[in-house]
């Protein structure tokens, strides 16, 4: 794990949350993107070396909608940048962690991603991410 790449925050509406975080962080949102496979719309901010990703569900049945229904808006996950996502996934499985997918999936911001089950990480959803090389 190289560094904290971003912190994901679940929000009900990007239209309200983007202006709020622009004021809070004193920086503009630099990118919005829909990730249809995950049923989310995202908005990104950069502050220092860290990014903040706001996540709005694009479906009432989506993971983010279900998260907000259970826990309310707030921190959804912490993402760590890795040099080789497949090697890191293998290492973590060998250490006893449970992955939520067997292979990395395309994510927002030109990343390949994989999530670890929070039951093995003290209730924190951890995302591994690596820059996609095919783009």
> Tens of pLDDT along 66-82?
999 999 999 999 999 99
The neighbour count for residue 132, using CB atoms within 10 Å, is: 15
- Domains assigned to the chain: 3-131 (3.10.180.10)
Taking only the tens place, the pLDDT of each residue in 29-43 is 999 999 998 999 999
| pLDDT value, residue 37 | 87
Measured at the alpha carbon of residue 122, what is the angle toward residues 48 and 81, in degrees to the nearest 5?
35
The pTM of this model reads 0.92
CA–CA separation, 102 vs 12, rounded Å?
29
- Say how far apart CA 13 and CA 94 lie, in whole Å: 39
């Amino acid at each position: 794990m190289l560094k904290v790449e971003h912190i994901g925050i679940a929000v009900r509406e990007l239209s309200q949350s983007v202006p709020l975080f622009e004021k809070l962080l004193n920086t503009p949102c630099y990118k919005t993107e829909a990730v249809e496979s995950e049923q989310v719309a995202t908005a990104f901010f950069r502050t220092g070396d860290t990014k903040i990703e706001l996540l709005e569900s694009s479906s009432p049945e989506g993971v983010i909608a279900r998260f907000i229904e259970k826990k309310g808006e707030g921190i959804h996950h912490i993402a760590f940048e890795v040099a080789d996502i497949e090697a890191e996934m293998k290492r973590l499985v060998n250490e006893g962690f449970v992955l939520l997918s067997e292979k990395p999936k395309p994510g927002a911001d030109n990343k390949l991603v994989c999530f670890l089950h929070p039951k093995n990480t003290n209730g924190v959803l951890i995302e591994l991410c690596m820059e996609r090389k095919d783009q």
